Structure 1
Amino acid sequence: MTEVAALLAAFLEATGREAAIWERREGSVTPSLLGASSEAFGQRTEAGATAWDVATWARSRALHAQLVTTGDSVGWLFVEPGHAADADRLLGRLLPVVRRLTRERDGATRELAERYEEINLLYAIGELLGSSTSVETIADTLLIELATTVGARRAVFLQTDRQLGALVPVATMGLGDRTYPPVPFDHPEHIAVRAFRSGSACTEDGLAAAAGDPILSGQGAPLLAVAITRPSTGVGITGTFAVPTRRGTEGGTIPLGVLVLGGRDHGAPFTAGDRKLAVAVGTQVGTAMHNASLVRAAVERQQMAREMKLANELQLKLLPNPRVVLPEARAAARVVAAEIVGGDFFLLARLDQARTGVLIGDVSGHGYQSALIMALALSAAGIHVQAAFDPSIALEAVQRSLRDELESTEMSISMCYAVIDTRAGELRYANAGHPHAFAMSADGTCTRLGAVAPPLGWCEGTIEESVMTWKPGNRLVFFTDGVVDARNAMGGRLTEEAVLATLARVPREATPDDILSRVFTRLETHVGQTPLRDDCTVVVVDRP
């Protein structure tokens, strides 16, 4: 021991006398050096420690030998001769310190030997938990390992079920054909509920154990219940029960289940050591369960992100390519969803050599439900604009096709459909509640295509059609309310006036792509890093 060697080295420095202590531990044949004032003196006395007659050997070498008991061992102290009283007193004080050091060492060794099975259990459980992403799949093995270590013949592993409001068994041991029922959270006497609520361990025996768990305790055999817990940074709420934080810790623990053990041989009670071990296992299992739930959540989020990305790609593929109206017309369009998927859409149709159809729609709300209605509306519009060239007839047909879906979801769609007819020199349109549809002349003047009916889904009725003159150099510019309602960091709206001012500055030679780029540049400059609140769509079409 380094402490003993340091004491003997100090003794040498104070007295000028070398010293060494050899010991023979219980069950050992060969003595070992406990400490020496110098390495040379330790080697010099090794033969004496193994001699048949140690005292005679020491006298023959002019050394003093004294029998020393050190904890669980016996040994010899070898000291060079001398008769100074101070040195003898110092030596007398040194020996009790040596005995204390060896007792502490031997005590730690005994405790380690006694706890070997417990340490081995924790290691084995750690390996089990590390080899599986689901604690439930190894619950039987885990239960057997713990029960065997503490000497229990019956055990159950309970997990919380919030919907059922109970602790539900996921593994049992030693019950034979008996079924262990769920334990309600509000059970007044069950030991598992007490451990669950306290977030720690409970023990019972006798009549209290029989009432606390009649299945595992039987006629009053001792019980041990320990909560399976995970760390918490504050007070956790489990179902309708508040779980208190443990004293002396910043946070608390949140119980995820309970382990209950019973049926020890000869009715021996569970010890404090058993309880401490069970708490360590409960914490270890609870942490693994929590980590597994985090892993599952992360995997689900990744899967959801992949699915939403795919949904976005599919939704964009539903929208037509602006090149479909070439060569008679030129078009540019862009949809930016506030979430991954949205409810805005547009449709471009080359009806014949003289006529081009342009439609924009905005489903109320945004997100998944709006995206589903958007897909139905786009499909219906694609069919009806080809079947009926009159905009009003086409929108009424779309309205009939979507009646049931809009009623059941309580959603609506603002929709404007316009047909450019260059042979007749006119623009025919029907507007069902869409506020931002404009015909833009060559000099930059914008004329609103006013709504003649409420959004589809509000009510059923005739949708009137309007007609206006179409001249070479005119353009259609449609956009949704997500553009004008886009907010900046201060909460200010972009406004329709700002969009129209941007359009008014567009040069005559600008293409639809140029116009689209200018509008979205204005939008992006306004919002900066602020997330969009609604889907944004802009459609630009011109036809000489």
Structure 2
Amino acid sequence: MTEVAALLAAFLEATGREAAIWERREGTVAPSLLGASSGAFAARTEAGATAWDVATWARTHALHAQLVTTGDSVGWLFVQPGHAADADRLLGRLLPVVRKLTRERDGATRELVERYEEINLLYAIGELLGSSTSVEEIAETLLIELAATVGAKRAVFLQTNRAQNVLVPIASLGLGELAYDPVPFDHGEHIAVRAFRSGSACADDGLAAAASDAILSGRGAPLLAVAITRPSSGAGITGTFAIPTRRGLEQPVVPLGVLVLGGRDGGQPFTAGDRKLAMAVSTQIGTAMHNASLVRAAMDRQQMLREMQLANELQLKLLPNPRVVQPEARAAARVVPAESVGGDFFLLARLDRDRTGVLIGDVSGHGYPSALIMALALSAAGIHVQSAYDPSIAVEAVQRSLKDELESTEMSISMCYAVIDARAGEVRYANAGHPHVFALTADGQVTRLAAVAPPLGWCEDTIEESVMTWKPGSRLVFLTDGVVDARNAADDRLTEDAVLRTLGGMRHGETPDDILEAVFAQLNSHVGRTALRDDCTVVVVDRP
């Protein structure tokens, strides 16, 4: 019981001594927890409650145990030892209160069992909630059914809005033209806030009711408010605003709203049975609201996954098929984004019979922002590599096209564009800050195509062009830094040197596809099950 747990928590706060009460109700074998000052002490004493000789068990565990009769049951009170007279007197006053609470509970339970109308209401509400995933849609019907059963003429259904720190009315009954405003969480005297903070039920009548909620109470008619919470399996105090213990520990739950009932016929106070019924209904509503939120969240996740998968497919379709450079050249390429979409990209172009263009780019960051800049960069590059003969002119044109976007997003792009000219026997390239670009000869010699300018978006410097010799049997291998910086479970990098050793050892006429598979096999072997931190791209081109 929440009330018993609150009493024992207050006892702990006042005396520094933990306490727990376990009871065995008639017709049951296993004892159940009536209340505890903390979950830890409840767990500590559970074995004692089931022991054959409880008193002996308590002595061996340095605890006091006292037999307690609680309503229709008997049980044991376990207390940490102490000798303060004030604490013993406080404990002596506490036990009669516990007995009163349990008698009220047992009497209310019997009353509830005998009230078939209320039971039918619970079944009806259960069916009603089961027919919809939105409690908001049926809130008014819930109020009507519950209010009619307990004889209330006015009622309001308040839902939690944590973003604004208020309880918002989503349905009302019997208010006519009266407006029921949202109730702020800091309105501590309002009955709805008190029920919300305690995570249970509160009742007022007379002047207290009128001061608490003048609209529903009118001139002092009784009020009943019950919190709508998710069911909790924890022992002891429940509620986000539970009484703090001596050690500052709480067992929080999430109140989802509050039901407030008023205007009862004849001005009679709400009984313990009414309170139990309202709490039973609120538990059903809380469960339904929680389940509905889980269903909505699952649907949102599924929709997001579908959209992310679609985005991934669309982005990959933007990239060219490596076969576009055939028959003069052979190429293989693969992009593996760290998220569903990323900022890595490549471009392959069959410029004419003698010249083959290959471009790689890496937008800073990853995810959707990088993917948007990547799409713009790929589109601009596709246009400029066809219209510009020199690689430096093409890269500078891409820089001008993306100037505004790169400035507004504060992003940058490392980019290298190379043109293999088989007739001239050379490779002409412009490298704007892209570090991992290599030419491999047939004898395993590796030459870096060094950067001659910073990444696009850093500045507007002129991008110079470089030239190197191209020999038959050579190939270009372009990587993004996600490959060489890939981390394993021990946070070790793959490193550029490791990749170059793999590339340098392939001198037996391997195709670009063979080289691509070898590099990614090395990458996958290194990272294992560790998630990628950055997008990984490899492009291999040769002219047999």
TM-score, normalization by structure 2: 0.77
Deviation at 1:464, TM superposition (A): 0.9
Change in 2 beyond 3 A, CA 1:169/1:357: same
User: What SS does the aligned partner of 2:520 have?
Assistant: helix
Change in 2 beyond 3 A, CA 1:110/1:257: closer
Deviation at 1:503, TM superposition (A): 0.5
Q: Write the letter of the residue equivalent to 2:397.
A: A
Tell me the residue number matched to 2:462.
462
Tell me the residue number matched to 1:476.
476
What whole-Å deviation, never above 9, does each CA across 1:370-400 have from its counterpart, x for those lacking one?
A: 1111111111111111111211111111111
Q: Give the Cα–Cα distance (whole angstroms) in 2 for the partners of residues 224 and 534 of structure 1.
A: 57
User: What SS does the aligned partner of 2:468 have?
Assistant: strand
Q: Write the letter of the residue equivalent to 1:342.
A: G
Q: Write the letter of the residue equivalent to 2:147.
A: A
Q: Give the Cα–Cα distance (whole angstroms) in 2 for the partners of residues 289 and 111 of structure 1.
A: 28
Tell me the residue number matched to 2:176.
176
Q: Give the Cα–Cα distance (whole angstroms) in 1 for the partners of residues 158 and 144 of structure 2.
A: 14
Tell me the residue number matched to 1:539.
539
Q: Give the Cα–Cα distance (whole angstroms) in 2 for the partners of residues 442 and 234 of structure 1.
A: 70
Matches within 5 A, 1:92-111: 111=111
Deviation at 1:111, TM superposition (A): 4.7
Change in 2 beyond 3 A, CA 1:459/1:191: same
Change in 2 beyond 3 A, CA 1:108/1:428: closer
Q: Give the Cα–Cα distance (whole angstroms) in 2 for the partners of residues 405 and 457 of structure 1.
A: 9
Q: Is the CA contact 1:486–1:533 (under 8 Å) kept in the aligned structure 2?
A: yes
Greater alpha carbon shift after TM alignment, 380-389 vs 312-321: 380-389
Tell me the residue number matched to 1:354.
354
Q: Give the Cα–Cα distance (whole angstroms) in 2 for the partners of residues 159 and 138 of structure 1.
A: 13
CA RMSD in angstroms comes to 2.2
Tell me the residue number matched to 2:310.
310
User: What SS does the aligned partner of 1:231 have?
Assistant: coil
**Does 2:488 correspond to 1:488?**
yes
**Does 2:332 correspond to 1:332?**
yes
Tell me the residue number matched to 1:276.
276
Change in 2 beyond 3 A, CA 1:233/1:427: farther
Q: Is the CA contact 1:445–1:504 (under 8 Å) kept in the aligned structure 2?
A: yes
Q: Where does structure 1 differ by over 4 angstroms across 4 or more consecutive aligned residues?
A: 107-113, 232-235
Tell me the residue number matched to 1:229.
229
User: What SS does the aligned partner of 1:444 have?
Assistant: coil
Tell me the residue number matched to 1:74.
none
Tell me the residue number matched to 2:242.
244
Matches within 5 A, 1:110-121: 111=111, 114-121=114-121
What whole-Å deviation, never above 9, does each CA across 1:183-233 have from its counterpart, x for those lacking one?
A: 111113211111111111110011111111111001111000110101356
Q: Give the Cα–Cα distance (whole angstroms) in 2 for the partners of residues 108 and 385 of structure 1.
A: 83
Tell me the residue number matched to 2:291.
291
Deviation at 1:272, TM superposition (A): 0.8
Q: Write the letter of the residue equivalent to 2:355.
A: R
Tell me the residue number matched to 2:102.
none
Q: Which structure would you say has the larger RCO, counting Cα contacts within 8 Å and 6 or more residues apart?
A: 2
**Does 2:361 correspond to 1:345?**
no
Deviation at 1:163, TM superposition (A): 2.3
**Does 2:143 correspond to 1:143?**
yes
Gaps of 5+ in 1: 1-106
Please identify the structure whose Cα radius of gyration is greater: 1
Deviation at 1:245, TM superposition (A): 7.9
Q: Give the Cα–Cα distance (whole angstroms) in 1 for the partners of residues 294 and 369 of structure 2.
A: 28
Q: Write the letter of the residue equivalent to 1:181.
A: D
Tell me the residue number matched to 1:388.
388
Q: Give the Cα–Cα distance (whole angstroms) in 2 for the partners of residues 320 and 457 of structure 1.
A: 25
Q: Give the Cα–Cα distance (whole angstroms) in 2 for the partners of residues 494 and 232 of structure 1.
A: 47
Q: Is the CA contact 1:134–1:292 (under 8 Å) kept in the aligned structure 2?
A: yes
Q: Write the letter of the residue equivalent to 1:145.
A: E
TM-score, normalization by structure 1: 0.77
Q: Give the Cα–Cα distance (whole angstroms) in 2 for the partners of residues 528 and 390 of structure 1.
A: 42
Deviation at 1:253, TM superposition (A): 3.3
Q: Write the letter of the residue equivalent to 2:511.
A: T
What whole-Å deviation, never above 9, does each CA across 1:495-535 have from its counterpart, x for those lacking one?
A: 00000000011024111111111111111111111111111
- Report the identity percentage: 80
Q: Give the Cα–Cα distance (whole angstroms) in 2 for the partners of residues 440 and 277 of structure 1.
A: 80
What whole-Å deviation, never above 9, does each CA across 1:245-264 have from its counterpart, x for those lacking one?
A: 899xx955321100000001
Tell me the residue number matched to 2:21.
none
Q: Is the CA contact 1:346–1:361 (under 8 Å) kept in the aligned structure 2?
A: yes
Deviation at 1:178, TM superposition (A): 1.4
Q: Is the CA contact 2:242–2:251 (under 8 Å) kept in the aligned structure 1?
A: no
Q: Is the CA contact 2:240–2:253 (under 8 Å) kept in the aligned structure 1?
A: no
Q: Is the CA contact 1:246–1:253 (under 8 Å) kept in the aligned structure 2?
A: no
Q: Is the CA contact 2:108–2:276 (under 8 Å) kept in the aligned structure 1?
A: no
Q: Is the CA contact 2:112–2:273 (under 8 Å) kept in the aligned structure 1?
A: no
Change in 2 beyond 3 A, CA 1:221/1:108: closer
Deviation at 1:244, TM superposition (A): 2.0
Q: Give the Cα–Cα distance (whole angstroms) in 2 for the partners of residues 496 and 306 of structure 1.
A: 35
What whole-Å deviation, never above 9, does each CA across 1:243-291 have from its counterpart, x for those lacking one?
A: 32899xx955321100000001111111111111111111111111011
Change in 2 beyond 3 A, CA 1:482/1:113: closer
Change in 2 beyond 3 A, CA 1:409/1:269: same
Change in 2 beyond 3 A, CA 1:110/1:201: closer
Tell me the residue number matched to 1:28.
none
Q: Is the CA contact 1:234–1:245 (under 8 Å) kept in the aligned structure 2?
A: no
Matches within 5 A, 1:360-509: 360-509=360-509
Tell me the residue number matched to 2:264.
264
What whole-Å deviation, never above 9, does each CA across 1:463-498 have from its counterpart, x for those lacking one?
A: 111111111111100001111111112111110000
Tell me the residue number matched to 2:161.
161
Change in 2 beyond 3 A, CA 1:112/1:466: closer
Q: Give the Cα–Cα distance (whole angstroms) in 2 for the partners of residues 290 and 407 of structure 1.
A: 45
Q: Give the Cα–Cα distance (whole angstroms) in 2 for the partners of residues 327 and 294 of structure 1.
A: 55
User: What SS does the aligned partner of 2:361 have?
Assistant: strand
Deviation at 1:410, TM superposition (A): 1.4
What whole-Å deviation, never above 9, does each CA across 1:299-331 have from its counterpart, x for those lacking one?
A: 111111111111111111000000000011100
Q: Is the CA contact 1:217–1:262 (under 8 Å) kept in the aligned structure 2?
A: yes
Tell me the residue number matched to 2:219.
219
Q: Is the CA contact 2:240–2:251 (under 8 Å) kept in the aligned structure 1?
A: no
Greater alpha carbon shift after TM alignment, 317-326 vs 518-527: 518-527
Q: Give the Cα–Cα distance (whole angstroms) in 2 for the partners of residues 256 and 341 of structure 1.
A: 36
Q: Write the letter of the residue equivalent to 1:428.
A: R
User: What SS does the aligned partner of 1:141 have?
Assistant: helix
User: What SS does the aligned partner of 2:231 have?
Assistant: strand
**Does 2:502 correspond to 1:512?**
no
Q: Write the letter of the residue equivalent to 1:308.
A: M
Q: Write the letter of the residue equivalent to 2:337.
A: A
Q: Give the Cα–Cα distance (whole angstroms) in 1 for the partners of residues 335 and 282 of structure 2.
A: 53
Q: Give the Cα–Cα distance (whole angstroms) in 1 for the partners of residues 110 and 521 of structure 2.
A: 77
Q: Give the Cα–Cα distance (whole angstroms) in 2 for the partners of residues 408 and 215 of structure 1.
A: 53
Change in 2 beyond 3 A, CA 1:276/1:233: closer
Tell me the residue number matched to 1:53.
none
Q: Write the letter of the residue equivalent to 1:243.
A: F
What whole-Å deviation, never above 9, does each CA across 1:110-153 have from its counterpart, x for those lacking one?
A: 95774101111111110011000000000000111111111000
Matches within 5 A, 1:10-29: none
